[in-house]
Amino acid sequence: MNRQLRAGPTWSGLLRFLLASALLALGLALVPAAPAHAAGDCRAYGETSVQGALAVKAACDEVAAGTMYSWGGGHGPVPGKTHGTPDGGGAEAWNDGNVVGFDCSGLTRWAWSVATGRDILGPGTTSDVFDRYWPVRFAGSDGTAHLKPGDVVFWQRTRFYWQSTTHTAIYLGDGKIVEAAESQHPLQVADFSSHSSSIYVGAIRPSEGSDSASPDNSGLPGQLFSTWGEWVRVGNEPRRGSTVQHTFPGPTQVKISCQTRGESITAEGITNDLWSYLPGYDAWITNIYVRGPAALPGVPDCLSGGPVAGADASGRFTTWGDGVNVRSQPTLTAAVRQTIGGETSVRVSCQQHGDVVNAEGFVNTVWSYLPDYDGWITNIYLKGPAVLPGVPDCAGGALGGGTATAGCTDGGAPNGAGARSPRSVSIAGRLIELRYSDTTECAWGRVTGGAPGDEVWVDRSITGGQSWDQLGFTRITSGSDVFTPEWNDHNVVMRACGSPGDSDTVVCTDWF
């Protein structure tokens, strides 16, 4: 915990407090000293690890939000802002018990918990953190030459006849730090040199040597998928509120070995009770945050080892959502036959492609016929994948197979036979292509001539390119080429996008 850079009230602090009281009595106020740098200067200066960059971003987000210093703030049971305490922080800390914010070690604790998904620094004091074993540590005599953005730096003061580490901050690079400095001031960016070099005792790099790094997917069982969304947590059980094992700050490529039904949750406008097991993290993730249909294609049931089916032997499926319309035809303008409220078991006799439906975060053209209702329901509101397993095409045969209605399952492995590249773009020697099959009416992205770390994905837009969904985020892990899963074009426009692993530049093909 940051005890600031003083042991207790000082004469200058007491004079400041008395002056502030006098001014307040006159209806005036002291203006806090301006930070050394504006909030816009808070960023990583130079290259660093993924975790280091995330720690910097988390701290800088708090600077941008105007979060205040609060003595003892951030030392609750879990990382995050808390009320401080007015005791022990000097004359300026008299109101910290009413301020929700961070002290210096509370801020570094929060930033690194965001970066790693774990409370890696813990709720202890500044000295507690510095004195623990860290695989990567730098001495004060090393200066800042070896530091990277995200490294945690420390200063100490001699008190009577003993020394104590009293202040910590996050290094930004280029001689700058982000810190919680003192009471009555917001978090700020400052020059490293604003603290005397004689009391700088060293730095740690929490990410390297810890178990927070992503696993190497190459040796793990299962299929590769990509997560989506920001700060997605995975837990030790397939339910909400389980112990968090890891946090994905953004889209991440993961291996999934099996999926099972667990707690039904609603997030991002989607409801799903399927969870996938990630062997690399020994953790479960709701399928809502895995790119693909509700039930991931080709991923077995964790219990039976067979396919995950949404229907029982009698061909029944379960609807979800409230006020779901059953229409006379598989179109959005057809008359409503009935309305289904809540989860309901229904009999499905066949399915076929109809109008494009965009609802609950899904886009789908497949509709199912419910003989007991003499009407059609979009497959979006039937639990299971976009194309229901084992349900025939209403025209005969399997949906999307043979000469029946064209189509494919979103997130499936693409069939490259007869495919073409109607759109392409180059960047830094890489070729980004939108691959398309006229037979299945499905598209996928491909990058060739690349390197490990390069990324490619597909955008699908129902608004002609004004807005879109990002699909099939895929990264090259070895070699120079990779392609995404396939995605049904749903009679809307699509494009492929990509980014070299050593650059923040993103390029996209034209819409097709």
Strands 253-256 and 258-267: unpaired
pLDDT over 50 at 41, yes or no: yes
pLDDT in tens, 138-189: 999 999 999 999 999 999 876 555 667 889 999 999 999 999 998 889 999 9
Three-state SS at 442: strand
> Which one, of 378, 323, 369, 320, lies nearest residue 347 by Cα?
369
CA distances from 227 to 232, 291, 371, 414 (A): 8, 6, 37, 19
Question: Could you tell me which residues come within 8 angstroms of residue 208 by beta carbon, excluding any fewer than 6 positions away?
Answer: 49, 135, 136
Return the CATH class of domain 420-508: mainly beta
pLDDT over 80 at 203, yes or no: yes
pLDDT over 80 at 63, yes or no: yes
CA dihedral (410, 412, 416, 417) positive or negative:
negative
Residue 7 has a pLDDT of 32
Q: Which residue has the higher pLDDT, 34 or 111?
A: 111
pLDDT in tens, 67-88: 999 988 998 877 889 888 875 5
Which CATH number is 309-404 given? 2.30.30
Residue 398 has a pLDDT of 47
Cα 73–chain centre separation: 25
* Phi, psi dihedral angles at 13 (to 5 degrees): -65, -40
pLDDT in tens, 376-426: 999 888 887 677 766 777 765 445 433 333 456 677 788 777 788 888 888
Return the CATH class of domain 11-204: alpha beta
pLDDT over 80 at 37, yes or no: no
Question: Could you tell me which residues come within 8 angstroms of residue 160 by beta carbon, excluding any fewer than 6 positions away?
Answer: none
**Across all residues in the chain, what is the average pLDDT?**
78
Residue 127 has a pLDDT of 85
pLDDT in tens, 214-251: 555 555 677 777 787 778 888 888 888 888 888 887 77
Three-state SS at 444: strand
Q: Is 512 exposed, middle or buried (0-12, 13-18, 19+ CB in 10 A)?
A: middle
Helical (H) or strand (E) element with 475: strand 469-475
Among 71-80, 248-257, 454-463, the least confident range: 248-257
pLDDT over 70 at 261, yes or no: yes
Residue 340 has a pLDDT of 92
For residue 17, what pLDDT band results from cuts at 50, 70 and 90? Answer: very low
pLDDT over 60 at 199, yes or no: yes
pLDDT over 50 at 510, yes or no: yes
Q: What percent of the chain has pLDDT over 70?
A: 79
Residue 32 has a pLDDT of 37
| Residues 260, 240: Cα–Cα separation, whole Å | 14
User: What's the Rg (C-alpha) of the chain?
Assistant: 28
Q: What are the domain boundaries of the chain?
A: 11-204, 224-289, 309-404, 420-508
> Which one, of 436, 416, 408, 454, lies nearest residue 495 by Cα?
436
| Residues 189, 178: Cα–Cα separation, whole Å | 4
CB-based burial, 237-252: b 16+ in 10 Å, e otherwise: ebeeebebbbbbbebb
> Which one, of 68, 95, 96, lies nearest residue 84 by Cα?
96
> Which one, of 142, 167, 169, 170, lies nearest residue 157 by Cα?
167
Q: Quick one: CA torsion of 135, 139, 143, 144, rounded to 10 degrees?
A: 20
* Phi, psi dihedral angles at 281 (to 5 degrees): -120, -5
The CB density around residue 205, as the number of other CB atoms within 10 Å, is 23
Note the pTM of the prediction, 2 decimals: 0.42
For residue 31, what pLDDT band results from cuts at 50, 70 and 90? Answer: very low
Cα 158–chain centre separation: 42
Strands 68-69 and 100-102: parallel
